[in-house]
Amino acid sequence: MASNLPIPIPPRTPTPPPDDPPGTSDQSSALHDKDSLSPLRDSLPASRGALDPGDANRLSPTRAGFNLSPADALQGDQSDNAAGPFNFKTMTMAKGPVVKSNIGQRRGHKYKHSSISHQIFLEPPPRAPLALPNSLPIPTFKEYRSSMSRDQTTRFWWSVCHMCIAGYTLWSAHGSLAMTALSHLILFDSLGALLCVAVDILGNFEVWKRSSVRHPFGLERAEVLAGFAMCVLLLFMGMDLISHNMQHFLESSGHEPHHTHVHERVSLGRVDFTALLAISSTLISAIGLKNHGRIGKAMRFGYIESLPSVLSNPSHFLTLSCSTLLLLLPLVSIKLYNWLDVLLSGTISISMCVIGVRLVKTLGSMLLMSYSGPGVSEVIRDIEADPCVYGVDDARFWQVHYGLCMANLKLRVSGTEENLVRLRERIASLIKNRLGGGYGSGGQKWEVSLQFAAEKA
């Protein structure tokens, strides 16, 4: 019985479902046909009869021959403007000019052209050209020499003669310390005379007085710079004379001198020709060339200001007084002559240092554009005393060169327009009369500028 039993069949492994869905076997066989891509086989579908090689318009861009449905193809045939990839239309160009519009456009940084409705950057009003030139030509030496008039040429050669007199005085001063000091004074006067002639010749050119952008006050400040150099030279010459006098004093006290100094005096009753020559040359330069005229006005020595015009200048006063005393020295005894010679030399050297320091301070402040003259505090006090003035906020007084000064004031005022106009005229007249010496006195020219700030009463 056991052998008649059926042998059990082992379980069958399940078969996975096929990759292709049912019903696609025909299509897959068609896709895997080896002759489907052959160029000798007509594999195009029947619906593409529009691409028949015999058709002349099969490649026309106006024909919809790109897999269109029959309904779309029908509509494309009935429409003049068929929907295709190349749908061109005939355009007619306008014969009139093309109008360019800037609306909605930008032009870089020109923001004022960005929009018509937002022109917030307006054109600036037209400005008149500057009255001042940018620069003026500076004369050359040839032009400078050719512009000299006959009078200027005569004055130039006289200044050269004045320098020769200074050299002669120094050469003949080996016998007197006072004559040595006088030679230094004459040298300073001759340099001043030469500077006066040079300034007069430069006045022939426009660049000297006319203002320009490069030189706002002309070239007149060059005269101040040259005068400053002369004053420094005068100061050093005075110091040299002081050292020479100290050396002579030590030699006379018993110390052995490094160099022998023989001091010979003019014989009794004889006129000192060198002193007489110094007096005449100083007077000619002072009267004919107006030597040191501007420097004398800048220094303002009150002690000699009341003297005549020539003696009111400290340089002329010192030279003339020294020369006059040297004319009187031969009338005294030999012993008294030696003492007076040393005393006069020391006095002249100290006076030269004092004048030099005063001039260096005055001209230095002028080069720094400041005013060092007296009377400024009194002018400010008188301005504050006016009933229309509440206070002086700022006051600047400065001197440009010998002939021009400027005053700039900022005031707090109150009153009617007529009273303010009268106040402006009064302040300008006050400054010109107090600081400039008044009209017709030949003092400095003052330019006054005022700024008013109205105060509520």
**Burial letters for 261-273: b for 16+ Cβ neighbours within 10 Å, e otherwise?**
eeeebbeeeeebe
- C-alpha closest to that of 352 among 223, 229, 181, 191: 181
CATH architecture designation of domain 376-454: 2-Layer Sandwich (3.30)
Q: Is 405 helix (H, G, I), strand (E, B) or coil?
A: strand
- C-alpha closest to that of 371 among 442, 305, 429, 443: 443
The pLDDT of residue 446 is: 87
The pLDDT of residue 213 is: 83
Q: 265 near 271, Cβ under 8 Å?
A: no
- Pairing label, strands 445-454, 404-413: parallel
Give the residue extent of every domain in the chain. Answer: 141-367, 376-454
Q: Is 270 helix (H, G, I), strand (E, B) or coil?
A: coil
What is the C-alpha separation between 366 and 221, in angstroms, rounded?
9
The pLDDT of residue 73 is: 44
What is the C-alpha separation between 210 and 173, in angstroms, rounded?
46
What's the one-letter identity of residue 18? P
Sequential pLDDT tens for the chain (457 residues) = 555 667 776 666 666 666 655 554 444 444 455 555 555 555 554 444 444 444 555 555 555 444 444 444 444 444 444 455 556 667 666 565 555 555 555 555 554 455 554 556 667 788 777 677 788 888 888 998 999 999 989 989 999 999 999 999 888 877 788 888 999 999 999 998 899 899 889 988 988 888 888 888 888 889 899 999 999 999 999 999 998 888 877 877 665 544 444 445 455 555 578 888 889 988 888 888 877 777 766 666 656 666 667 777 888 888 888 888 888 877 776 777 778 888 888 899 999 999 899 889 889 988 998 887 778 889 999 998 888 888 888 899 988 888 888 999 999 988 888 888 999 999 999 998 888 765 545 567 888 999 988 877 6
CA 362 vs CA 2, 126, 323, 336: distances in Å: 153, 45, 27, 38
What is the C-alpha separation between 368 and 296, in angstroms, rounded?
19
Q: 241 near 185, Cβ under 8 Å?
A: no
CA 87 vs CA 83, 90, 209: distances in Å: 7, 10, 83
- Dihedral sign computed on CA atoms, order 326, 322, 341, 179: negative
The pLDDT of residue 211 is: 82
Q: What residue ranges in 324-444 does DSSP mark as E strands?
A: 389-401, 404-413
Per-residue pLDDT reduced to its tens digit, 72-123: 444 444 444 445 555 666 766 656 555 555 555 555 555 445 555 455 666 7
Q: Which residues contact 177 (CB under 8 A, 6 or more apart)?
A: 244, 245, 248, 263, 341, 342, 344, 345
- Pairing label, strands 389-401, 445-454: unpaired
The pLDDT of residue 426 is: 92
Phi (first) and psi of residue 61, to 5 degrees: -70, -15
CA 380 vs CA 407, 434, 449: distances in Å: 11, 11, 14
The pLDDT of residue 107 is: 52
Q: Write down the H helix ranges in 205-328.
A: 206-209, 221-252, 273-288, 293-299, 314-328
- What value, to the nearest 5°, has the Cα angle with vertex 225 and ends 134 and 218? 25
Q: From the CB of residue 341, how many other CB atoms can be counted at a distance below 10 Å?
A: 23
What is the C-alpha separation between 328 and 279, in angstroms, rounded?
13
The pLDDT of residue 235 is: 92
Q: Which residues contact 316 (CB under 8 A, 6 or more apart)?
A: 189, 282, 286, 291, 292, 296, 310
The pLDDT of residue 237 is: 92
What is the C-alpha separation between 437 and 219, in angstroms, rounded?
25
**Structural fold of domain 141-367:** Alpha-lytic protease prodomain-like (1.20.1510)
Here the tokens at position 85 are 């990839």
Q: Report the run of H or E that residue 454 belongs to, with start and end.
A: strand 445-454
The pLDDT of residue 292 is: 73
The pLDDT of residue 303 is: 62
What's the residue count for the chain?
457
Rounded to the nearest angstrom, the gap between the alpha carbon of residue 248 and the centroid of all alpha carbons in its chain is 52
**Burial letters for 191-208: b for 16+ Cβ neighbours within 10 Å, e otherwise?**
bbbbbbbbbbbbeebebb
**Burial letters for 358-381: b for 16+ Cβ neighbours within 10 Å, e otherwise?**
bbbebbebbbeeebbbeebeebee
The pLDDT of residue 338 is: 79
Q: Is 206 helix (H, G, I), strand (E, B) or coil?
A: helix
Q: What is the DSSP string of 321-356?
A: HHHHHHHHGGGS-HHHHHHHHHHHHHHHHHHHHHHH
